[in-house]
């Protein structure tokens, strides 16, 4: 099927979706969860075929591609969780009456048709479909070619549930031609796509931002910093830095850089460094960090300051002032999550105000920037742009608003 046709069908489906009641959506979500579990054997068998074709790919890639029993239960539970979440559609965000008596309500409505571009992880098919469906949006999925058969199977299961519930199955569609040409066309399907959300590597996200003429929400790049102030508690600094670096190094909210004030660097750095080395973290330091840590640290190059490792690596820079820390962060960060460890009130206030990022922390790990940690219940990604949504994106971030205005014949003078 060509993309125009898919777009048209998605748009038709989206208009019907927007009118469903919360309960109609929740029932379908619960049935989707059940259907996935009922088809566990089938899904695993199909996934095995994708995995067989994935010879020679990196172990981490193969891991992301793999669906086992636990992951299928996880996807199903995610859908059930969505069914329990509040439905943002219909919420009145603001309302007032004008001097001429017009009643204006700003009401939350679905975006319409959402495009998702992602890579190896087939669970994105289900997670994104569930989030889009609950928020009243149609979705068109374009997953990586390595996961095609698995994605086809998952989408088939979900679409059948929609049909069984008397709903339009075209609310969830998968692009089966995984060529780059079709992906590029998809990014320019302005007539039908209201937004395009890429999920995956920085390379994918930047390519989409470059190619797309459809509005894009950039997600997931995280070159996150922790700044240890001259008035910081050492034990807290160690706890937070180690947690932010190693609790899950592969994700975007993991810390990649440690900045430390020169007034405490000689005293604190050896202890923090040792704690990181104990967790098998490779350290890279600027000249002053090297002077303090000696052999424990490799030299950092200028490239390091802009690199998101997503790995057991951390670069360390010694700074003389809070100003220098803030300015380094604002120059090199990806506007994701940044933290200061301090007991100085004025410094905490300045850091929160002046660091430009989706989430700014005092005395806590950057790892908390996450839809479930924030209490959103579900997340389609973490926006690192300023337009539309910033930070973890839950159901509300998949909506727009509409001014609903009731009058009794008013005309403009």
**Contacts with a copy of itself, residue ranges (CB under 8 A):** 15, 18-19, 96, 98, 102, 104, 111-112, 190, 194-195, 209-210, 213, 215-217, 233, 236, 239-240, 242-244, 247, 330, 348, 352-354, 356-365, 367-369, 373-375, 385-388, 390-391, 400-412
In the bound complex, what is the minimum distance in angstroms from residue 126's beta carbon to a copy of itself?
24
Q: Which two tokens stand for residue 231?
A: 């008035």
Contact of 297 with 265, CB cutoff 8 Å: no
CA distance 183 to 80: 31
Find the shortest distance in angstroms from Cβ 268 to a copy of itself.
15
Report the alpha-carbon distance of residue 76 to residue 88 in Å, rounded. 21
Report which secondary-structure segment, H or E, holds 382: strand 381-383
Nearest residue (CB) to a copy of itself, 79 versus 195: 195
What ranges make up the beta strands (E) of 149-232?
172-174, 195-199, 224-228
CB of 172 to a copy of itself, least distance (A): 20
Q: Is 112 or 143 the residue whose CB approaches a copy of itself more closely?
A: 112
Least separation, in Å, of the C-beta of 347 and a copy of itself? 13
Residue 381 burial class via C-beta count within 10 angstroms: exposed 0-12, middle 13-18, buried 19 and up: buried
Measured from the CB atom, is 10 or 217 closer to a copy of itself?
A: 217
Q: Which is nearer to a copy of itself, 233 or 324 (CB)?
A: 233
Residue count of the chain, please give it.
413
E runs forming strands in 98-183: 103-110, 113-118, 138-142, 172-174
Closest approach of a copy of itself to the CB of residue 87, in Å: 15
Query: Phi then psi for 113, rounded to 5 degrees?
Result: -120, 125
Partnered with residue 117 across adjacent β-strands are 142, 198
How far apart are the C-alpha atoms of 382 and 368, rounded to whole Å?
12
Q: What is the nearest approach in angstroms of a copy of itself to the Cβ of residue 176? A: 27
Q: Are strands 103-110 and 92-97 parallel, antiparallel or unpaired?
A: antiparallel
Phi, psi of 86 (to 5 degrees): -65, 145
Q: In this complex, which beta carbon is closest to a copy of itself, that of residue 53 or of residue 352?
A: 352
Q: How far is the CB of 212 from a copy of itself (least distance, A)?
A: 9
In this complex, which beta carbon is closest to a copy of itself, that of residue 157 or of residue 395?
Answer: 395
Q: Give the residue with the Cβ less far from a copy of itself, 137 or 151.
A: 137
Q: How far is the CB of 163 from a copy of itself (least distance, A)?
A: 23
Write the CB contacts of 229 (distance below 8 Å, at least 6 apart in sequence): 261, 322, 325, 340, 341, 342, 343, 344, 347
Please identify, using beta-carbon distances, which residue of 161 and 221 lies nearer to a copy of itself: 221
Q: Which is nearer to a copy of itself, 79 or 207 (CB)?
A: 207
Do 157 and 163 form a contact (C-beta atoms < 8 A)?
no
CA–CA distance, 409 with 198 (Å, rounded to integer)? 45
Name which of 19 and 42 has its Cβ closer to a copy of itself: 19
Tell me the two tokens of residue 361.
């922390």
Q: Angle at the Cα of 305 (from 196 to 203), degrees rounded to 5?
A: 25
- Measured from the CB of residue 319, what is the shortest distance to a copy of itself in angstroms? 17
Q: What is the C-alpha R_g of the chain?
A: 24
Min dist CB 155 to a copy of itself, Å, is 24
Q: How far apart are CA 16 and CA 230, in angstroms?
A: 58
């Amino acid at each position: 099927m060509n993309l125009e046709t898919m777009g048209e069908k998605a748009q038709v489906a989206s208009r019907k979706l927007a009118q469903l009641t919360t309960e109609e959506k929740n029932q379908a979500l619960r049935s989707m969860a059940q259907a996935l579990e009922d088809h566990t054997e089938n899904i695993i068998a199909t996934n095995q075929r994708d995995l067989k074709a994935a010879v020679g790919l990196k172990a981490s890639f193969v891991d992301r591609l793999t669906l086992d029993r636990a992951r299928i239960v996880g996807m199903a539970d995610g859908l059930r969780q969505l069914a329990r979440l509040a439905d943002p559609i219909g919420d009145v965000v603001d309302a007032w009456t004008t001097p001429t008596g017009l009643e204006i309500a700003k009401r939350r409505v679905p975006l319409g048709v959402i495009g998702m571009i992602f890579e190896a992880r087939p669970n994105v098919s289900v997670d994104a479909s569930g989030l889009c469906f609950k928020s009243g949006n149609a979705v068109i999925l374009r997953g990586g070619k390595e996961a095609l058969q698995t994605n086809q199977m998952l989408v088939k299961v979900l679409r059948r549930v929609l049909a069984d519930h008397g709903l339009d199955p075209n609310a969830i569609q998968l692009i089966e031609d995984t060529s780059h040409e079709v992906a590029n066309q998809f990014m320019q399907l302005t007539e039908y796509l209201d937004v395009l959300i890429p999920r995956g590597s920085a390379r994918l996200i930047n390519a989409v931002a470059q190619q797309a003429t459809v509005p894009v929400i950039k997600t997931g790049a995280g070159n996150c910093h922790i700044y240890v102030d001259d008035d910081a508690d050492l034990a807290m600094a160690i706890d937070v830095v180690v947690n932010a670096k190693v609790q899950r190094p592969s994700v975007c909210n993991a810390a990649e850089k440690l900045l430390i004030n020169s007034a405490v660097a000689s005293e604190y750095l050896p202890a923090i460094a040792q704690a990181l080395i104990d967790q098998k973290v490779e350290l890279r330091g600027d000249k002053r960090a090297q002077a303090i840590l000696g052999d424990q640290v490799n030299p950092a190059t200028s490239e390091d300051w802009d690199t998101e490792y997503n790995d057991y690596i951390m670069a360390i820079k010694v700074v003389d002032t809070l100003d220098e820390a803030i300015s380094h962060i604002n120059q090199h960060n990806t506007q994701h999550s940044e933290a200061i460890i301090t007991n100085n009130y004025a410094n905490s206030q300045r850091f929160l105000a002046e660091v430009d990022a989706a989430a700014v922390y005092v005395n806590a790990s950057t790892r908390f920037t996450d839809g479930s940690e924030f209490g959103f219940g579900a997340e389609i990604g973490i926006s690192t742009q300023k337009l539309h949504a910033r930070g973890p994106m839950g159901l509300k971030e998949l909506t727009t608003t509409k001014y609903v205005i009731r009058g009794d014949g008013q005309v403009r003078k």
